[in-house]
Amino acid sequence: MDAMVNTVKGWMENPVKFARSHGVTVSPASDGSDPEREIHILIIEGFLLYNYKPLLDIYSKCYYVTIPYGECKRRRSMRTYTVPDPPGLFDGHVWPMYLKHRLEMENSGQDIQYLDGMRTKDELYNQVYEDIQNSLLNVL
């Protein structure tokens, strides 16, 4: 986690330099503007990211996809793992830990937008995309 925080901070200092140093080609926008002056967006994805205090001050937008217990259990049971879950793992460990960490996240004071995981991937993408676009329009 410390390495991730350092990586994110490195990106925040200079997104273009960071991208180039990691082999990512940075092209100017179609209008020929300077990449150094453009808006850069970094998406950090993963579970428990809102439970790690060194990252909490970094986020400008927070999204959290939720699904009900039954759907979560159904989706997990559909996964294929090299080593399958032992019987009772979901009810005995996975779901209780989810509830524990979600409560910690909710108590963190972060402004988190909850997304309905029962919606399609396209609907979720469009909701977040529109929210980010609106935020950028309000800043410019």
* Pair 55, 44: CB distance under 8 Å: yes
Instruction: Tell me the pLDDT tens digit for each residue of 8-60.
Output: 999 999 998 998 899 988 776 666 666 667 888 889 998 888 998 898 888 99
Domain identity same for 80 and 131: yes
Domain identity same for 37 and 47: no
How many domains does the chain divide into? 2
Residue 66's closest CA among 111, 102, 90? 102
- Looking at residue 31, its pLDDT comes to 64
Domain range spanning residue 97? 43-139
- Cα–Cα distance measured from residue 140 to residue 132, given in angstroms and rounded to the nearest whole number: 12
- Cα–Cα distance measured from residue 111 to residue 114, given in angstroms and rounded to the nearest whole number: 10
Q: What is the chain's mean pLDDT, rounded? A: 90
